[in-house]
Structure 1
Amino acid sequence: MTGTAWATIAGCAVVTMIIKGVGPIAFGGRDLPARFANVVVLLAPALLAALIVTSALADSGDLHVGEDTAGVGVAGVALWRGASVLVGVGLAAGVTAALRLLT
């Protein structure tokens, strides 16, 4: 990896530590107000969805729909229909591998 990549990783780590430290300092052991607590609960799923979409659709800075996108789509439908996470991951890997073999 290049020096720029390591600098970016270090910068993200420092910013994350600062953000995680601000909460306890600002609230001093008090509970979050209900409005904030409801928003904080929604942040993790939103971030996970953004990371999945970015990973499935990005290819070297360009928008690209390919085998991995189809695998994520099949897994998403399976999870939506009630499959376990393990089945979803297996389906995503299987569909992606099968499509890569065919192309």
Structure 2
Amino acid sequence: MKRIAVLLAFMFISADSAAFFGPDCDSASDCMTKAENLSNQNRLADAIDFYREACDEYRNKNGCYQAGIHYQFGLGKRNKAKNYYVKACRYGYVPACHLKEI
């Protein structure tokens, strides 16, 4: 019985490891594709994780901008949105430069 409980616990942790350990992307475009798919499913909190990884790990200016948009309009977190607009501007996404003063 103990072995079954351990096996079930391991299966549960493995199935949800992406949510626990963070997103898993191989490249900026991989992160962006996963984020867009989640955003289209209206899973904004999950999508933001992938946009953030595209921005923070791969310095993807569109990932930064999309993280800002999702924070501002999806989750209502203006301070976090502002931080990602600043990064998007720094990485060369000019439209974000006008939004960093929100």
TM-score normalised over the length of structure 2: 0.30
Question: Looking at CA atoms only, which structure, 1 or 2, has the larger radius of gyration?
Answer: 1
TM-score normalised over the length of structure 1: 0.30
